[in-house]
Amino acid sequence: MTRIGRSFRQFLWLSLLCMPLAVVHAQGDGKASSSEPPSAQTAEQLADLLENEATRAQLIEALRRQANTESAATESEEATEAAPVSLSRRIALSTESIAEELAAEFSRAFGAFTQAGEATAGVDWQALAAASVDLIVVVIAVIVAFMLLRRLCIPVYRRLDVWSQQPAQTSALLRKTVAVLLAAGVDTVLIVLSWVIGFLLAIYALSDPGAMDTRQTMFLNAFLMIEIFKALIRTLFATRYEGLRLLPMSAENAAYWNRWFARISGFIGYGLLVAVPIANINISPDAGRALTFIVMGLAFLYALMVISQNKEQVRGRLEVQAKQAHSTFARVGVYVLARVWHALAIAYFAAMAVVAILQPEETLPFMLKATLQTLLAVGGGVFLAVVLAQIISRRIRLPEDTSRRFPQLEERLNAAIPGVLQVLRAIILIVVALLVLDAWRLFNLPEWIGSEAGTTALAAAISIALILLVAKGIWIAFASWIELRLNPDNDRGGASAREQTLLALFRSAFLIVLVVMTAMIVLSELGINIGPLIAGAGVLGLAIGFGAQKLVQDVITGVFIQLENAINTGEVVTAGAITGTAEKITVRSVGIRDLSGTYHVVPFSSVDTVSNFMRDFAYHVGVYGVAYREDISAVIEQLQAAYSALVADPNFAEKVLEPLEVHGVTELADSAVNVRIRIKTLPGSQWGVGREYNRLVKQHFDAAGIEIPFPHTTLYFGEDRAGYAPPANVRVLEGRDRRAPLPAEPADANTPLPDAANRPSERSDFDESQS
């Protein structure tokens, strides 16, 4: 134990000796140390300590243990500093700090109230009264000068008011905004002139030349800031001039709110910028702190009372304005403002009270800057959105020649306007929100823009906007090119049926490819790794291919059918045992409208054979049966005569391509001799030509007495058991006028009836008709 204690004491001595050396080494950079070198006795003790192996080993172990401990502590501190603080944590820390500072300020102010007598004991009231007289003179002079200057400028305000309300071709809002800005500029000039008058009076008339009392300086500075703020309020609530009032409201309401804002801004401004500093200088800082509590407390209570009284009234008026808004964006914005305006107003005055209590010297500069930036951001955003809506909402008009070549281009451009307007409004809303947050120091916009995250976000946003804009332009250009090719009024005379079908399919495929590529590029700009998405899409496509073989077969068969130009829209085809007009063709199926009007969707996988009735040319093939007794040469002559009548008709002459082909007798049927002919026609005209030719053949055969046989009916009346068939008494009459009249009814029952054999049969008319 003794040796261990001695070694421990030696270790302490060594540590004490090494500390100056460590300090000198830490200061470094070639600077000389002010510490003196160790004495000879200390050096001798250090040498003895190092010569002993046991103590040297203990010293080395202790130094290593100390080094490890310091390294761990340093790493822990660095990790703590590097660890990001969450937003909720920062809000909690800020709230806790503000609450602690408010409690401390409240304690100081309460102490100042309790010690008010001691604080005012040493005040020189006579000197304060003398200085107050000069201050009152400056106040009166500045206010009178400002009122006179405003009265002199009344004609200017009236002219601006009349000019802003004159009807013009330009936007009414733009004209009114210019007038309001000019009026605000005039107000600012008058305020500055009044401030100059007060400054000259204070420095040359009420003080020694070249000197000015501090109280007068504080008032003049307060006057400049407060009146500029009031001028800003007058742009919203101009009392006398409706044309210089930005907010749509009556003169009575504008006067009420203008008067209320002027009172509370004057009370807070002059109280914090004049009364509180005077109390700090002439009485004590605690008295100024107590006066700050009084001013802000009364102002907050007054504001809370006014807001509560007008909550429902303002809400109702804003909802009326929301219903009258033309755009959805403005309607939603005003409606949301109607719901939360009172909460925003209370938060505004609460923030002013907190800032005034914690940092009274920065209250009005901060609030003025924050309010001005907020109003400019919101007003500028609303103005820009309205102007953009009025400019973009105007319908695009293309030249007549361009509209003729691209019939749908004007409609397509006008259809893109609402989407562009929505994107621009979203951008304006985001910028306004960031400016408002920056105004109230909730978000540091310049620092964020200069940071790596801000630069990356802005670059990504600009890139995405350009990508979407370029993609939209590419689609409009491509669709317009397809439209030009399909337009029958173009220089080439329109597209063929095959081109129409292929171009329609190509347009759909290009749209899908463009949308997919644009989405992938946008996701890549957002920092999302699209490699797994592409791989997943490949795997998903393979799985769909295996699970939907029928669909794949439809697509592949449809592609080859289109490449072989087998079906085009508007053609009459037979596909999948359905015959009709092909109305719609996709990669997977064809839509066919049959003769009865039924629409059939035929998948290409079920199409084994395609029969197209409208390629190059067509034939009307007619087979006409005549009686065996007719002369075939005479029949052929009548068929030729019917053909001559057909081509003599101008409605059918252009549809017939070649002379009549007579194939001759093709069949000796049971009751007729069949003669076949063929007429070559334009594709799709074979049915109309055939119907007209059949009509003409019937007319020529009837005129020539050529019989077209039709089926006959044989009646068999049966036989009895002995095989005897009794004869049927059938009489064929040439006309109803030769038939004997029926006898009249007997006068009585004794009159005999005619014999059955001589009485006319009741079925004779039916038999005659059948004959």
Candidate from 132-136, 364-368, 666-670, 700-704 with smallest mean pLDDT:
364-368
pLDDT band at 646 (very low <50, low <70, confident <90, very high): very high
Place of tokens 């049971």: 670
pLDDT confidence band for 695 (50 / 70 / 90): very high
pLDDT at 148: 92
The residue ranking higher by pLDDT, 455 or 168, is 455
What is the predicted pLDDT for the residue at 248? 78
Check residue 12 and give its pLDDT: 41
Report whether pLDDT(76) > 60: no
Please enumerate in sequence order all residues whose Cβ is within 8 A of that of 612, keeping only pairs 6 or more positions apart, or say none: 566, 567, 571, 572, 573
Read off the tokens for 221.
């500075």
- 245-271 confidence digits (pLDDT tens): 888 788 888 888 888 888 888 888 888
Which token pair is 496?
A: 């063929």
Which whole-number Å values give the CA distances from 313 to 235, 242, 347, in the listed order?
22, 21, 19
Q: Give residue 88's pLDDT.
A: 54
pLDDT score, position 246: 80
State the pLDDT at residue 42.
54
Asked if pLDDT for residue 303 goes beyond 70, the answer is yes
Per-residue pLDDT at 199: 86
Whether the CB-CB separation of 639 and 704 falls below 8 Å is answered with no
Residues 414 and 400: their CA atoms lie apart, in Å, by 16
Residue 552 to residues 74, 185, 546, 557, 604, Cα–Cα distance (Å): 65, 72, 9, 8, 10
pLDDT of residue 674: 94
Percent with pLDDT over 70 in the chain: 70
Question: Per-residue pLDDT for 82 more than 60?
Answer: no
Give the long-range contacts of residues 171-177, CB within 8 A, separation 24 or more.
Answer: 171/387, 171/390, 173/383, 173/386, 173/387, 173/390, 174/387, 176/243, 176/246, 177/246, 177/383
The CA distance from 352 to 753, in Å, is 129
pLDDT value of position 516: 86
What pLDDT, on the 0 to 100 scale, is given for residue 642?
A: 94
CB 191 within 8 A of CB 199: no
Cα atoms found within 13 Å of the Cα of residue 709, Cβ hemisphere only: 16
650 or 206: which leads in pLDDT: 650
User: Residue 10, Cβ neighbours under 10 Å: how many?
Assistant: 19
Residue 640 pLDDT class (50, 70, 90 cuts) = very high
What mean pLDDT is predicted for residues 211-223?
Answer: 81
Q: What is the mean pLDDT of the chain?
A: 76
Distance of alpha carbon 763 from alpha carbon 747, whole angstroms:
26
Q: What pLDDT was estimated at residue 767?
A: 39
Q: What is the dihedral of CA 328, 329, 330, 333, to 10 degrees?
A: 120
